[in-house]
Amino acid sequence: MKKSFLALALSTAFLFGCGGSDEPTAPTPQAPANTAENPAPPAANDDEVGNIARGTWNGNVYTNPQLGFTITTSGSWEGLTDQDIAELTGMVADVSLDGFSDDIWDDLDMDEFTEAMIMNFSTGSNIIVMFERTNIFTRRLSASEFVNQMGEEFAAMGFQNVEVASGTTRIGQRDWNSVSSRTDFGDGEVEQHFFAIVEQGHIVTVIVSVFGDDTIEGILQMFA
């Protein structure tokens, strides 16, 4: 279900997180500034497959009112452009759409999309925001069922210390179900946290991979 994006998070850290001389040039945010005041997000809709909106960048701030959060970068944390993400994922580079619906997914011949990726170019820690339509599954999953299935997949893949949270985590204005793991990686270890909600018939996942001196508590402070 999410094996490709586990690999993406790890490979991204390997490519950019070693602190070497090959660090890429700081990317330019991929969307125009959002000058409108951010409204409160609508209530989650678990039943209908509707439109899910892309977020926007305004300087160093990523905003997605529908998901109910902003991410503010500073220091060595930077947002990747759509082109950067496409080079890492092999997905389309230019999606100049307001959002995604069933018809748009069909036109693009896609079932999942990397909406945003934010990197700490010093440590390799990263944040990935994913959209995935739920009608590719045999039945519509709740966020709780989704993270439980992810936990089972992680355990089957040999990930260590897999834990599905009994409660939810508040990110911005929404409560997210989550599963985490801590696994040996190179000379150290990677701590990964998958946070999920269902929005307009889509699974939205925020994947946080923690390396080096970073902590999940510190990274979540970037959200508001």
Strand partners, 119: 78, 126
Q: For residues 35 and 134, give the distance between their C-alpha atoms in angstroms, rounded to a whole number.
A: 32
State how far the Cα of 193 lies from the Cα of 150, in Å rounded to an integer.
Answer: 11
pLDDT tens per residue, range 167-224? 999 999 999 999 999 887 777 788 999 999 998 888 899 999 999 899 999 999 999 9
Domains of the chain in start order, with CATH, are: 3-18+44-220 (3.40.1000)
Ramachandran quadrant class, 200 (left: phi over 0; alpha: psi -120 to 50; beta: rest):
left
pTM strictly above 0.85:
no
User: Do the Cβ atoms of 100 and 113 come closer than 8 Å?
Assistant: yes
Q: Which tens digits make up the pLDDT trace of 104-155?
A: 666 666 677 888 999 999 999 999 998 887 765 556 788 999 999 989 988 8
Q: Where are the strands (E) in the chain, listed by range? A: 52-53, 56-58, 61-64, 69-72, 77-79, 99-100, 112-120, 126-133, 163-164, 169-171, 174-185, 188-199, 202-210
